[in-house]
Amino acid sequence: MPYSLWLARVAAIALGAALPLAFAPFDLWWIAPISLAGLFGLWRDASPREAWHLGYAFGLGMFSVGVSWIFVSMHHFGEAIVPVAGLITFVFAAVMAVFPALAGYLAARLSPEHSAARILIAMPLAWMLLELIRGEFLGGFPWLNLGASQINSALAGYGPVFGEYGMSLAVVMTAALLVMLFSRRAWWLTTLTLFTGLALWLGGSTLRNIDWVEAAGEPISVAIVQGNVEQSRKFDPQIFQATLDLYRNLTDTQAADAKLVVWPETAVPDTVEQAAPFLIEMQDTARARGQQIVAGVFDQDQAGNYYNALLTLPVEGGRYYKRHLVPFGEYLPLRFLIEPFRGLIQVPMSDLTSGRDDQPLLQLAGHPVGASICYEATLARKINTALPEAAFLLNASNDAWFGDSLAPHQHQQIAAMRCLESGRWMVRATNTGISALIDPQGQVVARTPQFAQAVLRGQITPMQGSTPFVLWGAWPIWILSIFGLLALALATYITAERRRR
């Protein structure tokens, strides 16, 4: 293999490893288009086989760093020994790296080397198509989608219109334009490229000033109770009563006058049946105060299925069963790869049942609410099923599974994307942080520190109306990516046939 190709692979790994710096907690959003421009520059003259290898190297760096929290989950809370936890993390990153590899192969296969078509059409649309597919594959893993990194940049203006994937498209187009800008082209093409890039970013900045939705009522006083129960002892029967007392006392002393009180995912670490006396007591207290409490708890149906649930107190507000289970917490993805190590890993809650998609919305503070639990906040298609009826969003999570890693910060950033897309406030309660109130622009208005008991107080405003993204979802990006690549493939084929003649 040529020495230069090995150097290119090393460069691709480095570029991919740098990409997570664009996301929380670093928030260096400008790294995303620069990192991708570096990859596109490597793809520009590559054969399909070379583009595959370069894309795979980029993906391996990207996911090895960006989802390194899998190691924390497996080792610290799954009790896997270091080599096993490291191997699982590496295998997962290696599988995810296939998506950038496929994007590179597809772009190179459908376009001539060093052509404007490869730079401006093939590479951006191939990346987008594979990012979209990754968001659906095996239930979806939309972690490190490029759009989420831009929630604080001018490109956020595209969020309410085309969603997270629309913002990703703006990032890849920026990367492509950077490659064009530094290519040796005619002066007029360089000028056109520069003005196109400026228009792309000015367009996003302009869209940020548009109010797509409006208030649907008076502000609601909210309190989020963050218990900070240590994950290693969360399901220990010896501290079960102490956990219940903790949430009761924090609610009674610091949240008694709030209209809505939200506890995290599985704040009550048992089933509704087993915790019934406590829940009835809290229901009577809430009813007397004229407030509602949303409690994370397990529930069991008559068939013996267990659900990760949110229960409202009083119960008239309804209950919600988690529809999309979190990998490495409630089920094991790529089970065929992990099964040989099952004896070396302890993963509680790994066999829960998914709730139905057609559940009625919770009714909180007189408004319908779009509820989600933990990982569901990463999936816009799940959140959108509650819209436009939902007046605000509620997410309960337990990011203690991932310790002091990148995951809690990345998870909150992804949750904020759902606010930007829908034009809704979100109340986000977590066990060990980060709990937050997030506004309709995806900005965190208030948050708690990590690994501390806290009660976060604030107000949210119920909203009504639909953003364009709520109406059409990610379909415009799917259509553009698929038909754009098909049109390019046809044009490349016709051109090749004419040259043969």
pLDDT in tens, 317-351: 999 999 988 655 565 555 555 555 555 455 545 57
Residue 317's pLDDT is: 96
- Mean residue pLDDT across the chain: 92
Q: Which two tokens stand for residue 472?
A: 């059409």
Per the listing, tokens 């360089």 go with 190
- What's the pLDDT tens digit per position in 104-127? 999 999 998 888 999 999 999 999
Q: How far is CA 267 from CA 239, 280, 321, 348, in A?
A: 12, 15, 15, 15
Residue 401's pLDDT is: 83
Residue 136's pLDDT is: 93
Domains and CATH numbers, the chain: 3-210+474-500 (no CATH), 214-466 (3.60.110.10)
Residue 113's pLDDT is: 85
Query: Strand pairing partners for 226?
Result: 454
Q: Which residues contact 307 (CB under 8 A, 6 or more apart)?
A: 298, 299, 300, 301, 321, 322, 352, 353, 355
Residue 1's pLDDT is: 45
Preceding amide of 434 cis, omega within 30: yes
- Residue 337, classed as helix, strand or coil, is helix
Residue 108's pLDDT is: 96
- What's the pLDDT tens digit per position in 265-291? 999 999 999 999 999 999 999 999 999
Write out the H or E segment, with its range, that includes residue 497. helix 475-500
Q: Tell me the whole-structure pTM to 2 decimals.
A: 0.93
Q: Which residues contact 106 (CB under 8 A, 6 or more apart)?
A: 122, 126, 129, 130, 485
Supply the DSSP symbol for 361: P
Closest CA to 411 of 436, 440, 381, 386: 436
- What's the pLDDT tens digit per position in 288-311? 999 999 999 999 988 888 899 999
Q: Which two tokens stand for residue 129?
A: 């198509």
**423 and 215 Cβ atoms separated by less than 8 Å:** no
Give the C-alpha separation, 385 to 431, whole Å: 26
Preceding amide of 2 cis, omega within 30: no
Q: How far is CA 360 from CA 320, 356, 390, 455, in A?
A: 8, 10, 11, 28
- What's the pLDDT tens digit per position in 225-272? 999 998 888 888 899 999 999 999 999 999 999 999 999 999 999 999
Beta strands in 277-376 (DSSP E): 292-300, 306-313, 319-321, 362-364, 367-373
C-alpha count within 13 angstroms, C-beta hemisphere, residue 432: 18
Active site residues: 265, 322, 374
- What's the pLDDT tens digit per position in 168-216? 999 999 999 999 998 877 777 788 889 999 999 999 999 999 999 999 9
Q: How far is CA 199 from CA 38, 100, 179, 233, 460, in A?
A: 22, 27, 17, 53, 34
Average the pLDDT over 135-154 and give the result: 94
Residue 55 has pLDDT above 50, yes or no: yes
